[in-house]
């Protein structure tokens, strides 16, 4: 399928950003103090964002990976974007910190529904989800994202995604995105084993040399080949 798409000069998958806001301050964020932050850019208007989506569909788009500068679930137009993707017959894959799903007060403020309703709606729209999991130890994970009580809310969000049925599919519609660091190296094997226990996809990632990760004081957290 990929070879045929290349031959026809088609686009079957797209990495696409939606919104720039994020309340987290992760050590390894590629955005903070990145070259792009120095640019004077206004967020893309939704109509323009949707127009680009239409152009991608004309090229044969089948799936879209939603990630980037912001935490998409903190955007009030989040479901408008997911619905725009779904009605075009494209599969959305959401990368998220999942804390909004585990925080009913915040979820209701942004989306007018609680976390369980959010996960159910996301499931009904045919999305797959990748959740940020660097550690299940709050003292480690909260420090990494720079927010107290993040881990508790993230874990509840993950539980709600499981309850909604994302991991009951083959292939699964739920995964964990793990940044491999010295701080979480002792947990990596246990996290990976969740692939078999919960039927979740596991994505183990090394540091990317951009944003905050480029700073020398962050190299102490990088997992070396020797480790």
User: Taking Cα atoms as reference points, which of 93, 121, 94, 95 lies closest to residue 107?
Assistant: 121
Query: CB-side exposure of 83: number of CA atoms within 13 Å?
Result: 6
First-to-last C-alpha distance (Å) of the chain: 38
pLDDT of residue 17: 83
Tell me the sheet residues that pair with 174.
Answer: 129
Which residues, in sequence order, are bridge partners of residue 164?
none
Residues 131, 174 contacting (CB under 8 angstroms): yes
CB count within 10 Å of CB 218 equals: 15
Residue with token string 């078999």? 196
Residue 105 confidence (pLDDT): 97
Q: Is the pTM of this model over 0.85?
A: yes
Q: In the chain, which residue ranges form alpha helices assigned H by DSSP?
A: 2-7, 46-58, 78-86, 104-111, 115-124, 138-145, 150-164, 188-198
Give, for all 227 residues of the chain, the pLDDT tens digit: 999 999 999 999 999 887 778 888 887 777 655 554 555 455 678 899 999 999 999 999 999 999 877 899 999 999 999 999 999 999 999 999 999 999 999 999 999 999 999 999 999 999 999 999 999 999 999 998 989 999 999 999 999 999 999 999 999 999 999 988 888 889 999 999 999 999 999 999 887 666 666 665 555 666 767 76
- pLDDT score, position 40: 47
Secondary structure element (H or E) that encloses residue 60, with its range: none
CB 115 within 8 A of CB 154: no
């Amino acid at each position: 399928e990929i070879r045929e798409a290349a031959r026809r000069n088609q686009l079957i998958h797209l990495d696409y950003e939606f919104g720039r806001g994020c309340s987290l301050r992760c050590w390894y964020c590629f955005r903070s103090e990145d070259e792009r932050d120095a640019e004077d850019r206004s967020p893309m208007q939704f109509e323009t964002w949707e127009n680009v989506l239409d152009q991608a569909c004309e090229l044969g788009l089948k799936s879209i990976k939603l990630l980037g500068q912001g935490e998409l679930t903190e955007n009030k137009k989040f479901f408008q974007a997911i619905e725009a993707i779904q009605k075009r017959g494209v599969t959305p894959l959401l990368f998220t910190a999942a804390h909004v799903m585990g925080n009913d007060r915040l979820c209701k403020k942004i989306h007018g529904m609680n976390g369980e309703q959010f996960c159910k709606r996301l499931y009904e729209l045919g999305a797959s989800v990748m959740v940020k999991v660097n550690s299940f130890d709050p003292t480690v994970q909260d420090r990494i994202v720079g927010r107290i009580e993040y881990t508790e809310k993230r874990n509840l969000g993950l539980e709600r995604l499981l309850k909604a049925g994302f991991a009951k599919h083959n292939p699964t519609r739920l995964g964990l995105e793990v940044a491999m660091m010295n701080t979480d190296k002792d947990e990596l094997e246990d996290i990976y084993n969740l692939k078999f226990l919960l039927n979740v996809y596991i994505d183990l990632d090394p540091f990317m040399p951009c944003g905050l990760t480029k700073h020398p004081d962050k190299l102490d957290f990088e997992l070396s080949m020797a480790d």
